Amino acid sequence: MTAHPALIAWPEDPSDAAGLALWTSEEIAAATGGRASAPFAVSGVEIDSREVVEGDLFFALKGENSDGHRYLEGAFGRGAAGAVVEHACFGPHVLVSNTSTALEDLGKAARNRVDAGIIGVTGSAGKTGVKEALYAALDRASRGRAHRSVKSYNNHVGVPLSLARMPARTSFGVFEMGMNHAGELAALTRLVRPHVAIVTTIAPAHIGHFAGEEAIADAKAEIFEGLEPGGVAIIPADNRHFEHLRAKATLHAERVISFGVAKDATVRLLDAVPAPGGGTLVTADLGGRKVCYTIAQPGEHWVANSLAVMAAVEAIGGDLGAAGLALAEMEGLAGRGARHAIPAHGGDGSGSALLIDESYNANPASMAVTLRQLGQTPAARRVAILGAMRELGADEARYHAELAGPVAEGKVDRLILVGGEMTALADALGKSGSAALAGAIDVAHVQTAAEAAECLAADGVRGGDAILVKGSNSVGLGALVRSLTGKER
């Protein structure tokens, strides 16, 4: 039988002519202004010698407390094909004057060589989830030619590293950008040069480094400064800083798209109902046409995130159907909503409890949303292990005390507070909380994640429990999650 030509033809793409290696030593030397010791080719780029795999290029970066040159032997021992160094070494290498500058230069070269739609994502919360959802949608629709920053590589090292890892054949790139101080995003976005720039939300994250939320909005709006000509800005219509963001975006974007429930939002939520088996069934107006899709992840924050995803996919020329499928299939991210069934005893007799891993980050807005979702989660008993929220500045105590209301909305039965900053919440629950609230919640306050683990173990994990673990990453609650799940991130 002869196959029909339409069934066997594979679409041609000009980028098919690009080399199969991620980088050659000649290309690395040209990009960095360095000198190659010998010809070599690499398939990846790494800055941590412990994570090097065969074929990687290892950058020997120098930091305040470490020097990557000390780990060259380990990197080559794990299979590094070459290294970028500041002084000659025993293995294949490119010699440069400054390895940090060289990494940035290689990132710039990667951005310059691709003919790809580039999306930049920032915001006080939700940026990693939006980045991952966009990647899943665009990768599905582009024959596997989407690229994104992994983990939370969103700072002055992570962004150029993520760019340097981008293959020449990439059709879509999605890059997360974060900041702790004003001016940081401006530098990052000029490296990424996005065609579409998203601000997910503005909230008091890292507010200890800023004069107030408006200053945070200014810093997040720096992402628009790197937009390519004809670029699109995507901003949250329901945020109280919307007008401020729109004014900033208009300075750099050809088009500004808003998303949310506001009646004049460009991408507007029409309906959101619980989906069978969890998640949400969403109907949205994309400005002239309606779409209906399912989100696997529960919570109102994911409804808002999904609107930003749909807006960006349409703006970059992606496939909305693929985006809907990606949202329907997307699992929770480690430290950011991943859900695990863990062994339990007693309780409802099921032998299982639900662990909700939100251990990577926390700010007042994300705490409130996550606790509210816990209150909507079916459970025989709800346990919340809440770590301190860091970098909140002079109003730190107030922000922690104000979590008393969200704790009530979370219908929490057992509450374990971790860190000195949580004293304000413990006091609020005991002093200013209603008698019913204070009496209904079993509250413990400890200083460390290890003590929280002991506290939970003493009480036991019961069948039918829903256990939320959330706090700033520096509190260390990720270790508690790993001990309960037996999984590494």
Q: What's the CATH fold of domain 114-329?
A: UDP-N-acetylmuramoyl-L-alanine:D-glutamate ligase (3.40.1190)
Q: Cα–Cα distance between 44 and 53 in angstroms, integer?
A: 8
pLDDT in tens, 257-313: 999 999 999 999 999 998 887 789 999 999 889 999 999 988 888 999 999 999 999
* pLDDT band, residue 418 (cuts 50/70/90): very high
Tally helices (H) and strands (E) across the chain. 18, 22
- Which ranges in the chain are annotated with CATH 3.90.190.20? 338-485
Domain with CATH 3.40.1390.10 in the chain: 20-104
pLDDT at 205 over 90: no
The single-letter code of the amino acid at 453 is A
CB 242 within 8 A of CB 217: no
More confident residue, 219 or 10: 219
> What is residue 311's three-state secondary structure?
helix
Cα–Cα distance for residue pair 222/190, rounded to 1 Å = 10
Task: Give the CATH number of domain 20-104.
Answer: 3.40.1390.10
Percentage, residues of the chain above pLDDT 70: 92
Q: Write down the pTM of the prediction.
A: 0.86
How many Cβ atoms are within 10 Å of 404's Cβ, its own excluded?
22
pLDDT above 60 (res 7): no
Asked if 150 contacts 143 with a C-beta cutoff of 8 angstroms, the reply is no
CATH 3.30.930.10 fits 338-485, yes or no: no
- Across 442-459, average pLDDT: 93
Crossing angle of the two packed helices 184-192 and 99-113, in degrees rounded to 10: 50
CA nearest to 155, candidates 122, 109, 201: 122
For residue 435, what pLDDT is reported?
Answer: 41
pLDDT greater at residue 235 or residue 442: 235
Percent of the chain residues past pLDDT 90, beyond the cut: 78
Residue 181: pLDDT band (50, 70, 90) is: confident
Give me the half-sphere count of Cα atoms (radius 13 Å) on the Cβ side of residue 45.
29
3-state class of 244 per DSSP?
helix
